[in-house]
Structure 1
Amino acid sequence: MAQQQGAVLVVEDLELSRKILTGELQALGFTHIVEATNGADALACLAEMRPVPVLVCLDLTLPDISGYDVCEMIRNTPLLQEIPVLMVSARTQTMDRAQAELAGASGYLMKPFTTEELRQQVERVLPNPPWKKA
């Protein structure tokens, strides 16, 4: 499997969920994954990461700042606004998905998810996923 150039930022407060998501992304070919456990950590990582990540996987429910607010902050920052943001949440309501879209999310993945569901969502939001590289 091809190697993905660029980093992925995984923002998830629950360690098990974070490790599962990181493992699944590695299985898809991503090699540089940075983890953040809350919204403030995520924003700090985004301020420091160069080049900026190729993808942000963002939990909706964080202990400090909601995933919606983090996504809006990403969209309102010129250097970051083009990064695909994949919301990852156990929330299944249509309203949650609609609010994620309003905040600027590129995609929405419901937990629990399969490797194939993750792969499909990443493929939808990322122009050149690792498995499509020559």
Structure 2
Amino acid sequence: MHKVLLVEDAPFFRKMLGDYLRAMGFKDVVELPNGQAALKYLAGSTRPDLVCLDLTLPDISGYDLCEHIRRTAGMADVPVLVVSARDLPEDKAHAEEAGANGYLGKPFTQDEFSRRVGQLLKSAASRRTS
């Protein structure tokens, strides 16, 4: 049903978040280790239903990647959840300015992650129908 793009450079967190998403019932989770791979994926014809994004990637910042998604035709309304160890108020504000719909600071529980993803998808669905 939902296609999720997960961009996280740390293999442990990438696997953990991928497992969380699959446990929530997402069958199609695309796990990528950096911003360049994400840009290449987004340039294809596939539009994700949700993007989970780390801020500190080795090549392109998560902020820049989020701004790119917002500027891309047909993707401006894709919900973006930033998942980051950077948990200062200015990090959250910068992510919001870049167009993120939600922010989850590490560490967090599987329940917190699932609840946040559910909220974002529900709010995106209600925006599409209104």
Shared fold, TM over 0.5: yes
One of 22, 43, 64 as aligned partner of 2:18? 22
Cα 1:28–1:128 shift into 2, 3 Å: farther
Q: CA deviation at 1:103?
A: 0.3
Cross-structure match for 1:86? 81
One of 2, 6, 10 as aligned partner of 1:6? 2
Structure 1 residue ranges without an equivalent (≥5): 130-134
Cross-structure match for 1:61? 56
Counterpart AA for 1:68: Y
Spell out the pairing of 1:28-47 with structure 2 (5 A cutoff): 28-47=24-43
Give every structure 1 segment of 4 or more consecutive aligned residues whose post-TM-superposition deviation is greater than 2 Å: none
| TM-score normalised by length of structure 2 | 0.91
Cross-structure match for 2:128? none
Counterpart AA for 1:71: C
How many residue pairs match? The answer is 124
Q: Distance in 2 between matches of 1:58 and 1:73?
A: 13
Higher helix share: 2
Q: CA RMSD in A?
A: 1.4
Q: Distance in 1 between matches of 2:123 and 2:49?
A: 10
Greater relative CO (CA pairs within 8 A, separation 6+): 1
Q: Distance in 1 between matches of 2:100 and 2:37?
A: 19
Q: Does the alignment pair 1:118 with 2:113?
A: yes
Q: Distance in 1 between matches of 2:123 and 2:63?
A: 25
Structure 2 residue ranges without an equivalent (≥5): 125-130
Q: Deviations over 1:87-114 (max 9, x none)?
A: 0000110000000000000100111211
Q: CA deviation at 1:49?
A: 4.5
- Aligned sequence identity (%): 52
